[in-house]
Amino acid sequence: AQTVTQSQPEMSVQEAETVTLSCTYDTSENNYYLFWYKQPPSRQMILVIRQEAYKQQNATENRFSVNFQKAAKSFSLKISDSQLGDTAMYFCAFMKHESHNAGNMLTFGGGTRLMVKP
Amino acid sequence: DTAVSQTPKYLVTQMGNDKSIKCEQNLGHDTMYWYKQDSKKFLKIMFSYNNKELIINETVPNRFSPKSPDKAHLNLHINSLELGDSAVYFCASSQAGLGMGRFFGTQYFGPGTRLLVL
């Protein structure tokens, strides 16, 4: 079974600064995906970024980037130029690369609550 | 257009009642999921389903059952509701199986249904 750990329950950052959220995971799989989802107060789960384990290059999406260290089983999220709208819960998630159709379930970490301060 | 929708958004009911939450996706995906988010924000898979396969998380009580009238819908039925069932329930969908496209395997979530059992 897979486990995902987010060691920072809460974090805060000043507007326009950079913050890094940590995530580690444990798996015996070699092929998998990693995700960061954002959950603002509206409760909606929003995909932030995705990383395929077979890719060495770190994924980036505008102000969001990851540091994927496969050997260390680490997957941190960096938010640059933080904005007030980035205030939310952030969840790291793991998904095996299953060959059968219904097997692609997400395993989530416990979440990090990020507050961006003006 | 809403990609994944759920109804109702809020549900307040008494212990012992039977209730259903509906989920519809218009993304053309072949796999749908139900997740439960508890009061501590922890997210856990309940079911993963497509027209060929149902995978049930072994910790889910058999009072919970998914029902899929067609590929675009996966409803959640809950019998004999208990206080501990109070949570936010999320539906999600994805195009599962093997694939390397950017959005292949990525799950898209509905807005959630907050269930309160009194």
Q: How far is Cα B53 from Cα B30, in angstroms, rounded to an integer?
A: 11
B54/A102 touch (CB, cutoff 8 Å), yes or no: yes
Contacts with A73 (C-beta within 8 Å, 6 or more apart), sequence order: A24, A25, A26, A27
Does residue A100 register a pLDDT over 90?
no
Report how many helices (DSSP H) and strands (DSSP E) chain A contains, helices first: 0, 12
Does residue A105 register a pLDDT over 90?
no
Q: How far is Cα B111 from Cα B99, in angstroms, rounded to an integer?
A: 26
Q: pLDDT of A76-88, one tens digit each? A: 999 999 999 999 9
Q: How close A67 gets to chain B, by Cα (Å)?
A: 18
Among B41, B105, B114, whose Cβ lies nearest the Cβ of A104?
B105
The answer to whether the CB of B10 falls within 8 A of the CB of B30 is no
Phi, psi of B98 (to 5 degrees): -95, 140
Q: pLDDT of B53-66, one tens digit each? A: 788 787 899 999 99
Output the pLDDT for position A30. Answer: 87
Output the pLDDT for position A99. Answer: 59
Average pLDDT of the residues of chain A = 93
Q: Helices marked H in A1-109 — which ranges?
A: none
Q: Looking at per-residue confidence, does B71 or B75 come out higher?
A: B75
Least confident of A43-52, B61-70, B77-86, B88-97: B88-97
Among A42, A95, A100, whose Cβ lies nearest the Cβ of B105?
A95
Whether the CB of A114 is below 8 Å from some CB of chain B: the reply is: no
Output the pLDDT for position A67. Answer: 97
Q: pLDDT of B26-40, one tens digit each? A: 998 888 999 999 999
Output the pLDDT for position B96. Answer: 66
For chains A and B, count residue pairs whose Cβ atoms are closer than 8 Å. 82
> Which amino acid, one-letter code, is at A53?
A
Q: How close B56 gets to chain A, by Cα (Å)?
A: 10
The answer to whether the CB of B83 falls within 8 A of the CB of B74 is no
A111/B42 touch (CB, cutoff 8 Å), yes or no: yes
How much of chain A exceeds pLDDT 70, in percent?
Answer: 95
**In this structure, how many other beta carbons lie within 10 angstroms of the beta carbon of residue B9?**
14
